């Protein structure tokens, strides 16, 4: 029974809560017991924990009848697939010094995963690596992953505290000498070459690492969080509850579609309920012993703040890589225009900026006599024309507008709009590239919406340079300036999606993406700034910036998969527009962040600075970015000479 709904039509996987169970050779009864208790799936041990391959006598070895928890016939394939996550035997230790244990472990691991695959399970939970090395474990798993099919493997990792904190008593303890469970995961996934079917299941203990240390995991492929009943506190009424930090962490898991699994025995003496309903009882008034824990998680889920309408609209775009627009080379389609035109927040900001510019340009006493010449360069289907006319009406100023647009299809729409609105006396439509048009007069105000996710990545500087010749010397450009920003991120999903193409080009392309399952590792920093109008005779649109990021020491080690990019623009005076997280314009959806990937992720240790270089390069026919890391390790310079990704002039 799902925990609830965060919003109408909620389909998140985190709605479904599981329960970790002991070995039981009557799987149908075990499943029925827990489903009736309100749980959605089992984390079920597949093999009798007493089984060891080396202990089988010859007859049993010849029979090949392994002690699995019931045959595949005891439940339907859909029941196995929908309600069971297989749990691989916890005793397995592939890196044991004892050769017998090591060989038994390898045999059992392959047998159990083969059985789980035969049952069409969606996922299997792997035991935490033991000992001082996980190389043999990873080697064996690599062999399995080569021919696994579609099943996911979840590596169990304890969300342990650092060496400065008191160690938790846990059966899934860190290996000797290990102080950071993330490093255990990282070494394992590196040995497995970032395989996209290898994920993480976190054991949540009663004490948590620092918030910045925990935040690393939201850029990793975490599929489940296993919360032991020992991690729950007791509220005033005797019911289980979680600490404030555990509540925030659990809510973050819900927001990232990470499923919760309850583990352990009930440790709270919960008062008997006075009014059992059909939801939490079976015949005789029975209630599942772990039901109070499940009810508490359901309460957390249902009382979460609902997703804003904008976030619900963007759900389908989360972590989906898109190639940036080529605004000069390509003509936009009607559907693309329509999406952008629905962003009322953006155009209300433009309207505010134009209104302020008109007020500064024309004093009140001249409002009825002075006509301001305004040029919209890159007019599209007219939203900036409309916003400018509304600003004129609001300020009681007079306008003459030139709407310049190179896309002949959009020009057709512009003509229809002007005729429909009766703007023929005010608006002149110009079907031309702004860089080639010879204006009949100079403009007081130049308005454009040529900004990209990285500010200058849709060639706003080059376009506005070309339009500068028809702006008066004291004229106003809207926007007047814009700055790009970057920050290092862990983004395992994005990295694996790019890696799946198996070529260099995709690793040297900057993508527009609604970032969600990422860990932001340090505050963002400014990169390139452009100001308009720019009359300097030595002006160049080429740029270079060297940046140093210091990651908080309590974060622990991190893996940098690339850099998230944003922009902030000043439209006019105090009117801003942008997606830089600390100053982002609320409820605006025209831009998603940009992502610059690294061909090989860079591991950064605590206290070690991350040094990165960005270049904006300009040629006769294209503009492109190059980027690299020089500390703590050198990466190749990405996209040399724009060989993989560029924006055409």
Query: Of the residues 458, 508, 580, 626, which is catalytic?
Result: 458
Going 595 to 597 to 602 to 603, the CA torsion angle's sign is: positive
Radius of gyration, CA atoms only, the chain: 30
Residue 431: burial class (beta carbons within 10 Å; 0-12, 13-18, 19+): middle
Structure tokens at 171: 């059966």
Residue 335: burial class (beta carbons within 10 Å; 0-12, 13-18, 19+): exposed
What is the C-alpha separation between 209 and 202, in angstroms, rounded?
13
Q: For residue 362, what are the CA distances in angstroms to 234, 351, 393?
A: 68, 16, 14
Question: Catalytic site residue 458?
Answer: yes
Closest to 606 (Cα-Cα) out of 515, 509, 510, 521: 521
Question: Catalytic site residue 449?
Answer: yes
The annotation status of 434 as a binding-site residue, yes or no, is yes
Closest to 361 (Cα-Cα) out of 471, 201, 239: 471
The annotation status of 1 as a binding-site residue, yes or no, is no
Q: For residue 463, what are the CA distances in angstroms to 374, 406, 474, 483, 648?
A: 17, 12, 19, 17, 12
Question: What does DSSP say about strands 222-228 and 259-263: parallel, antiparallel, or unpaired?
Answer: parallel
The annotation status of 405 as a binding-site residue, yes or no, is yes
Tokens 């990405």 belong to residue: 638
The annotation status of 337 as a binding-site residue, yes or no, is yes
Closest to 294 (Cα-Cα) out of 273, 266, 275: 266
Start-to-end Cα distance in the chain:
56
Query: Of the residues 106, 112, 449, 580, which is catalytic?
Result: 449
Count CB neighbours of 71 within 10 A: 9
Contact 49, 90 (CB under 8 A): yes
Structure tokens at 192: 């497995």
Q: Which residues are annotated as a binding site?
A: 337, 346-347, 405, 433-434
Q: Which residues are annotated as a binding site for S-adenosyl-L-methionine?
A: 337, 346-347, 405, 433-434
Which residues participate in catalysis according to the annotation? 449, 458
């Amino acid at each position: 029974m799902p925990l609830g709904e965060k919003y109408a039509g909620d389909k998140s996987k985190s709605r479904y809560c599981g329960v970790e169970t002991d070995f039981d050779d009557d799987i149908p009864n075990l499943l029925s017991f827990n489903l009736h208790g309100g749980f959605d799936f089992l984390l079920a041990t597949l093999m009798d924990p007493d089984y060891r391959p080396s202990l089988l006598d010859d007859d049993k070895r010849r029979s090949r009848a392994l002690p699995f928890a019931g045959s595949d016939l005891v439940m339907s394939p859909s029941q196995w697939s929908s309600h069971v996550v297989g749990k691989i035997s916890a005793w397995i230790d592939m890196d044991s010094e004892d050769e017998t244990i090591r060989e038994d472990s390898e045999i059992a691991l392959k047998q159990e995963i083969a059985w789980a695959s035969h049952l069409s399970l969606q996922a299997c939970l792997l035991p935490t690596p033991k000992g001082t090395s996980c190389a043999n474990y990873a080697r064996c798993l690599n062999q399995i992953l080569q021919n696994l099919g579609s099943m996911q493997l979840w590596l169990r990792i304890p969300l342990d505290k650092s060496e400065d904190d008191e160690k938790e008593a846990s059966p899934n303890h860190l290996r000797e000498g290990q102080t950071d469970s993330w490093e255990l995961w990282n070494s394992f996934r590196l040995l497995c070459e970032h395989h996209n079917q290898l994920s993480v299941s976190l054991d949540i203990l009663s004490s948590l690492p620092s918030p910045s240390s925990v935040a690393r995991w939201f850029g990793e492929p975490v599929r489940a969080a296993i919360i032991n009943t020992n991690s729950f506190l007791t509220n005033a009424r005797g019911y289980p509850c979680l600490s404030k930090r555990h509540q925030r962490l659990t809510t973050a898991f819900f927001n990232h579609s990470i499923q919760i699994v309850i583990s352990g025995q009930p440790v709270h003496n919960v008062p008997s309920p006075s009014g059992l309903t059909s939801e939490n009882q079976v015949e005789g008034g029975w209630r599942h012993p772990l039901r109070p824990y499940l009810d508490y998680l359901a309460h957390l889920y249902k009382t979460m703040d609902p997703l804003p309408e904008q976030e619900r609209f963007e759900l389908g775009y989360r972590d989906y890589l898109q190639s940036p627009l080529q605004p000069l080379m390509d003509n936009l389609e009607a559907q693309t225009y329509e999406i952008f035109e629905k962003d009322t927040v953006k155009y209300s900001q433009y309207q505010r900026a134009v209104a302020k510019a008109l007020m500064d340009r024309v004093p009140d006493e001249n409002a009825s006599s002075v006509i301001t010449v305004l040029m919209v360069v890159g007019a599209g289907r007219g939203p900036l024309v409309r916003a400018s006319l509304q600003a004129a009406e609001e300020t009681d100023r007079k306008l003459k507008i030139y709407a310049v647009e190179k896309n002949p299809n959009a020009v057709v729409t512009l003509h229809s709009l002007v005729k429909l609105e009766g703007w023929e006396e005010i608006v002149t439509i110009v079907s031309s590239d702004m860089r080639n048009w010879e204006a009949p007069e100079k403009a007081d105000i130049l308005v454009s919406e040529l900004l990209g996710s990285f500010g200058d990545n849709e060639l706003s500087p080059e376009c506005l340079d070309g339009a500068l010749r028809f702006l008066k010397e004291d004229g106003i450009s809207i926007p007047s300036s814009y700055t790009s920003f970057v920050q290092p991120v862990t983004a395992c999903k994005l990295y694996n999606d790019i890696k799946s193409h198996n070529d260099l080009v995709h690793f040297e392309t900057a993508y527009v993406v609604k970032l969600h399952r990422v860990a932001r590792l340090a505050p963002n920093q400014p990169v390139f700034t452009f100001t308009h109008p720019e009359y300097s005779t030595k002006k160049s649109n080429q740029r270079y910036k060297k940046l140093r990021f210091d990651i908080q020491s309590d974060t622990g080690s991190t893996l940098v998969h690339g850099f998230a990019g944003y922009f902030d623009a000043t439209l006019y005076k105090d009117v801003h527009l942008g997606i830089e997280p600390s100053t982002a314009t609320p409820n605006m959806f025209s831009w998603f962040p940009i992502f610059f990937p690294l061909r090989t992720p860079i591991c950064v240790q605590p206290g070690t600075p991350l040094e990165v270089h960005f270049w904006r390069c300009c040629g006769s026919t294209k503009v492109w970015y190059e980027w690299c890391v020089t500390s703590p390790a050198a990466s190749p310079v990405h996209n040399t000479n724009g060989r993989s990704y560029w924006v055409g002039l």
